[in-house]
Structure 1
């Protein structure tokens, strides 16, 4: 059964427009949709699946999505979907499909969703195809002057091959995170060849970030997946490790390159590196582990990666946190650039625009932190408020 509770908009900016709870009639799994803001009658945000997912978590993530769209000045609001279910359970695909069917009124007209933790894009699109919605950007595509042409552009862009044997849609978010790290290093005057990075998570986002940091000459000295932390002070062979991943983003330990030290999973927090990139779970940095952070800067690739009290501790220690709604916003920004026709199907168009925007935004955040002591999150929020301070459009034109 579905219980829908429409909340009146309040004067509090962090109060969501709507919270919705769903219960799967077959498994009893709970699912959640939070629409934080509607802009042009649209909201965007991924759908995640993990055991233990909560309404509070989804609400935090929806708030973050609203911040991302504001910082990148996109004509859309923020939302998020979440399902409390084990993604490795053989019934998971059925749960996801029933959740999407239950959310169809929103997916038809208002909610543009995409992959997130535990839900890869190809699986989400397969579910949408079975439901007759074709692709997870459906709510925006159906508004286009020529929906068929727009759908073709979206699919062509997402499946455009890029060096390394990847597809553009799979790596664009990680590319943005990598350039957030590069911009941070540049702002501090750290030469790429001397700068080091530790990454928690080696799936779509973390793996993409690792690849492009390696390509840029930065040393990725530690990565962690569900099985543990892999460490090499001279720099890991990132391409080799990525080739050893399974479908869940976990690395086959039986075929590790020589010189890789295997450590407990939690060791990634204390790994000695210039930049720490939490790219796996939300609330990865908490009051329980914040004192163990070994990096000089944190770049959030995972949504809501740092709890507010832990971030306050890091700030007090002089460690800046580049917030998720800037660092990992490349995927959502790019998706809307594609929808709006602002980038074409040539991957270099997308890479050029994203690295230019990320460099400008992160440089502003780090320089204001270094010069005036203003936390990067505060500067980013001020930037988003400036961008969305004008009257919001009721419609958005999609070619």
Structure 2
């Protein structure tokens, strides 16, 4: 890779022509499946954007109002994500239009997965997502006799039992902080994307400020590791509102106050922390803003409120295209979700292929190296040529996808 602009005639990048764009990133999904729950009437969707070697990967989410259009956008994002990181697997996504807090939610998820069994058995590697915990997914897979949600890939392994053992060991490995590696690796990747931004723009970590919308797996994990790195996390937002302290929040203490649904107990928040409305987080001053809660959090009607100098997307599709165009024209680059939040997906595949194991430091080092290098390339193009990070990321994805077409997937 080099610092000049990439285009379809750039021989150093290989055959990245209009045909690749049409057939891959901008193509219609390879498969769409719509399901209706016979008990509750809830709708569920599976969208497989691309298959590589017969496999696609992407989580399963559950939220009220989930649509097939949303799931399709997320599946395309997964296809881009796997390609940017050079993973030999396509992109997919599952979604269920149902409230995960409803006591019937577990049954809905079980029936959805049962209906998707042919895909889960042979082609679709899924995992946790919004409203669905990894532990819940694995419980459902156990009832289906599939063992673990990576089953479609594990079953292709030369040694399925050894691979399953390696995956379970990796997911359950504890870090030095006593956290499960599989639970926090995605948030760690987001933190490294933020630190990569600081490095690329010449900001000292101790003088860099970050605001984070969302305190769940991604947002909470990113906040934890940024705090550990000495970055000032000045604002954290959840469904109940925004917590703000310009000197920096005590991130570990606030994360300890989260309930089962990821909301911070306001009765125990220190008095020096300002409690503001939920939307206030958009306009608070910070070097980096991390939307880590919901899709389409930054929209055309609120993009002008963003006060940060850089946006790092931790949530899938956190910024609408119209809003991103507004930010870009205002000199605010957006590090796209398919890079910033790809840590968990990339790590899972490295684990499946035995490229990392149960030593957390190996995983941290691998992800740090790959995440920072990609952020550096994107911001290098932004600083040098004014090319939006998303466009540079798409070029990388198309180049990698072209090389992966026809590749036979090998899992030891």
Whether TM-score is above 0.5 comes out as: yes
Match of 2:10 in 1: none
SS of the aligned residue for 2:39 comes to: coil
- State whether structure 2 residue 384 is matched by structure 1 residue 371: yes
Indicate whether 1:204 and 2:217 are aligned. yes
Cα distance in 1 between the residues matched to 2:170 and 2:270: 34
Q: Is contact 1:41–1:394 with CA below 8 Å preserved after alignment?
A: no
Unaligned runs of 5+ in 1: 1-8
Match of 1:4 in 2: none
In 1, Cα distance between equivalents of 2:360 and 2:260: 24
Indicate which of 126, 140, 143 corresponds to 2:139: 126
Alignment coverage as a number of residue pairs: 391
Cα-to-partner distance string for 1:287-339 (whole Å, 9 max, x where unaligned): 11101001000000000000000000000000000000000001000000000
- Secondary structure at the residue paired with 2:402? coil
User: What is the CA distance between 1:11 and its match in structure 2?
Assistant: 8.2
Corresponding residue for residue 384 of structure 1: 397
Counterparts in 2 of 1:1-399, with a 5 A limit? Answer: 13-390=26-403, 392-393=405-406, 395-399=408-412
Report the aligned-residue RMSD.
1.2
**1-side partners of 2:159 and 2:106: how far apart?**
31
Q: Name the CA distance, whole Å, in 1 between partners of 2:331 and 2:150.
A: 40
Tell me the CA shift for residue 249 of structure 1: 1.2
Residues 353/12 of structure 1: CA separation in 2 closer, same or farther (3 Å cut): closer
Runs of 4+ in 1 over 4 A off after TM superposition: 9-12
Query: In structure 2, the residue corresponding to 1:285 is in which secondary structure?
Result: coil
Q: Is the 8 A contact 2:241 2:276 kept in 1?
A: yes
User: Normalized against structure 2, the TM-score is what?
Assistant: 0.93
**What TM-score do the two structures reach when normalised by structure 1?**
0.96
Residue 386 of structure 1 deviates from its aligned partner by 1.0
1:179 to 1:101, Cα distance in 2 relative to 1, 3 A: same
Q: CA deviation at 1:392?
A: 1.6
Q: Could you tell me whether the CA contact under 8 Å between 2:24 and 2:398 is conserved in 1?
A: no
Q: Which has the higher contact order (CA 8 A, sep 6+)?
A: 2
Are 1:43 and 1:79, in contact at CA under 8 Å, matched by a contact in 2?
Answer: yes
DSSP-derived class of the 1:389 partner: helix
